[in-house]
Amino acid sequence: MATALKFEYIWMDGYKPEPNLRSKTKVIRLDKYNCEVDVLPEWSFDGSSTQQAEGNFSDCLLRPVAVYPDPGRRNAYLVVCEVFNPDGTPHESNTRAKIEDDDKDFWFGFEQEYVIEYNGRPIGFPEGGFPEPQGPYYCAVGNGKVSGREMVEEHLDICLDAGIDLTGINAEVMLGQWEYQVFSKGAKTAGDDVIVTRYLLERISEEYGVTINLHPKPVKGDWNGSGMHCNFSNAEMREQGGKEMFTAICESFRPLHKEHIAVYGSSNEQRLTGLHETQSIDEFSYGVSDRGASIRIPVSTAKNWKGYLEDRRPASNADPYLVAGRVVKTVKSAGVTV
């Protein structure tokens, strides 16, 4: 007898400068199911309600591209979808379709920072004031030094249960600010994984009565902003290496700095000031173990010049598809890929 399964179709809307996540549930009865994408039907939605169509011709199409188990619901799955126009062409808001090269040889590690807020303030901040200056909050433990751990742990567990390769979490430099790290192979899968982790984070926030703030400068003043650092490598970087290779890759980013910044999230100039472990948005630099550089060369990489690089410029609100696609394109322009 067929089982009624719940499929949560998830997509990004047309709001600017950054889209919102949208979703709706489709119930399909199947005899058996093992996360196959190709058996799921296309669906449609009212694009006039998501700034993706006009009211007089409002249908937009949802095409499933990735499926994950949904541990938070019974007999349920999370379905990442691309948005298409009625004529079958990718919608303008469909940034996943803009990835020109989905080379699975490229590995990504996105470090997603975010702030948990209650009544418009980071949790842990006293009402009408500020906590002690930042310093004791990074990777901290203890009441008054961290806030929101229960929710963060729940998010970690449900992402792992969904089959997403989260490699870690930690409290960040500002009180109420957290980070999780996602490992993926290929630009499209990297984007899919980040989108699902964000979706699950937003859904869990409903249970706790809090909001998730992805603005790159959530609190003005002497407080760290939020980023989405992008760690990346390909086989030649990991296996062949060499200082000249890594220098060539870093230098290939220099003349394209503005193109990268253009897709690395809005309001990023408020975060990339040259302070709080950032390089100025108007400058490009790289260096070994330099968290004030645009691109950090990890000590582990510089030890034998094999490994990965960390692009520290992407903002916490950046579109992971655009970031990953731009990184692949730039690295390949350096002419050092296998």
Residue 70 forms part of a structural domain: yes
Quickly list H helices, 107-186.
149-161
**Cβ atoms of 8 and 76 closer than 8 Å:** yes
The whole-model pTM stands at: 0.97
Q: Which amino acid is at 322?
A: L
268 and 122 fall within a common domain: yes
Q: Are residues 89 and 121 in the same domain?
A: no
Of 94, 116, 141, which residue sits at a domain end? 94
138 shares a domain with 193: yes
The residue behind tokens 């961290």 is 146
Is there a domain that residue 102 lies in? Answer: no
Angle between helices 243-253 and 320-333 (to 10 degrees): 120
Task: Mark whether 256 and 217 lie in a shared domain.
Answer: yes
The reply to whether 68 and 146 lie within a common domain is no
Task: Tell me: do 78 and 187 sit in the same domain.
Answer: no
User: How long a stretch of residues is the chain?
Assistant: 338
**204 touches 155 (CB < 8 A):** yes
User: Is 15 found in the same domain as 115?
Assistant: no
Q: 168 and 74, same structural domain?
A: no
Q: Do residues 183 and 316 share a domain? A: yes
Class of residue 270 by CB neighbours under 10 A (exposed 0-12, middle 13-18, buried 19+): middle
Q: Which two tokens stand for residue 256?
A: 């394209």
* 17: preceding bond cis by omega (within 30 degrees): yes
Find residue 27's DSSP bridge partners: 6
CATH number at residue 16: 3.10.20.70
- Position 26 in a domain: yes
Extract the tokens encoding 148. Answer: 């929101």
pLDDT mean by block of 10 residues, the chain; 338 residues = 96 97 98 96 97 91 98 97 97 97 97 97 94 97 96 98 98 98 98 98 98 98 97 97 96 97 98 96 97 97 98 98 98 77
Is 275 found in the same domain as 172? yes
Residue 202 CA to residue 271 CA, distance in Å, equals: 23
* Residue 101 maps to a domain: no
Residue 152 and residue 18 in one domain: no
Residue 338 pLDDT: 45
17 lies in some domain: yes
Q: What is the pLDDT of residue 93?
A: 98
Nearest C-alpha neighbor of 137 from the set 127, 128, 124, 150: 124
Assess if residue 99 is contained within a domain: no
Number of compact structural domains in the chain? 2
Query: Which among 62, 94, 126 is the end of a domain?
Result: 94
Classify residue 236: in a domain, yes or no.
yes
For residue 264, tell me if it sits in a domain: yes
Q: Residue 199: which of 66, 54, 4 has the closest Cα?
A: 66
Residue 112 belongs to domain spanning = 107-333
- The per-residue pLDDT for 324 is 98
Same domain, 113 and 85: no
Residue owning tokens 């009544």: 119
H or E segment and range at residue 296: strand 295-297
CATH number of the domain at 167, please.
3.30.590.10
Residue where one domain finishes, among candidates 94, 116, 147: 94
CA distance 298 to 184: 19
Residue 269 CA to residue 281 CA, distance in Å, equals: 6
